[in-house]
């Protein structure tokens, strides 16, 4: 447990010093969402209708943007093999990396989403479900992304390969994330969709570190 927290702290410190990665993701998210009103016109009804979809698609793409750096830097400078030789399971190392990745990229997205929702005239009833859906969905994005990042490790054009690997796996999170907000806006219960997102997270928590660790081992040989 100490090693786990230590790893998260180390990654957070690195992210804080480098800064660029987390800021890049956030800036991409904000800019991408802001482009939509400019593109489709300022009619509130239209924006309100597409708001959940726009927010979620942009969150997906923004999360994808930082994934290829998840293991790549550690792999290149030799940290990854040193970490893999630490007396802890590699699965735990992956889980710590995912936590740090979510804290630096996912959490800022969750926090800024309501602000952007206001920009898109989202109905008042949609805010709480949006926040909850994002809070449940973005950790899943980090976890699934870790498997893709580990698989693409060391490959040329890893980021392109990574998008192809990971985006199809993001579809369920997208569908239920958008549906949760849509239902709330339509006056229906968003709870079932939030529960599904919770289920995805509960499944990804043990499975993704296991899969990513299996993909990391051959890369370290």
Binding residues (CB under 8 A) for other proteins: these are: 2-3, 6-7, 10, 13-14, 17-18, 77-79, 81-89, 220-221
Could you give the CA distance from residue 11 to residue 9 in angstroms, rounded to a whole number?
Answer: 6
Closest separation in Å from C-beta 20 to other proteins? 11
Q: Give 85 or 128: the residue with its C-beta nearer to other proteins.
A: 85
Q: What is the token pair recorded at 147?
A: 């498997």
Please state the closest distance from residue 17 (CB atom) to other proteins, in A. 4
Closest contact distance (angstroms) between CB of 159 and other proteins is 21
**Dist CA 193 CA 30 (whole Å):** 25
Cβ closer to other proteins: 7 or 208? 7
* Residue 129 in tokens: 């479900």
Tell me if 86 sits within 8 A of 172, measured CB to CB. no
Tokens 């580990």 correspond to 150
Sign of CA dihedral 30, 36, 38, 42: negative
Nearer CB in complex with other proteins: 46/220 = 220
- In whole angstroms, the minimum distance from the beta carbon of 5 to other proteins comes to 10
Those residues with Cβ within 8 angstroms of residue 58's Cβ, 6 or more apart along the chain or in another chain: 28, 29, 32, 33
SS3 121: coil
Report in angstroms how near the CB of residue 139 gets to other proteins at its nearest: 24
Give the residue with the Cβ less far from other proteins, 141 or 153.
153
Residue closer to other proteins, measured from CB, 96 or 208: 96
């Amino acid at each position: 447990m100490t090693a786990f927290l230590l790893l998260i702290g180390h990654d957070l410190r690195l992210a804080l010093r480098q800064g660029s990665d987390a800021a890049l993701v956030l800036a991409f998210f904000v800019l991408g969402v802001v482009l939509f009103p400019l593109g489709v016109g300022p009619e509130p009804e239209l924006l309100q209708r597409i708001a959940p979809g726009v927010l979620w698609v942009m969150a997906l793409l923004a999360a994808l943007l930082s994934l290829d750096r998840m293991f790549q830097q550690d792999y290149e400078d030799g940290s990854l093999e040193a970490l893999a030789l630490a007396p802890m399971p590699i699965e735990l190392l992956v889980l710590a990396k995912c936590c740090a990745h979510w804290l630096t990229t996912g959490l800022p997205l969750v926090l800024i989403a309501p602000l952007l929702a206001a920009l898109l005239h989202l109905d008042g009833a949609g805010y709480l479900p949006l926040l909850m859906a994002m809070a449940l969905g973005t950790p899943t994005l980090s976890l699934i992304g870790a498997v893709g990042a580990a698989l693409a490790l060391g490959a040329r054009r890893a980021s392109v390969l990574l998008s192809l690997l990971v985006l199809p796996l993001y579809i369920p999170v997208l569908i239920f994330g958008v549906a949760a907000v849509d239902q709330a806006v339509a006056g229906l219960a968003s709870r079932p969709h939030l529960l599904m997102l919770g289920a995805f997270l509960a499944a990804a928590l043990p499975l993704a570190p296991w899969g990513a660790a299996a993909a990391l081992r051959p890369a370290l040989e």
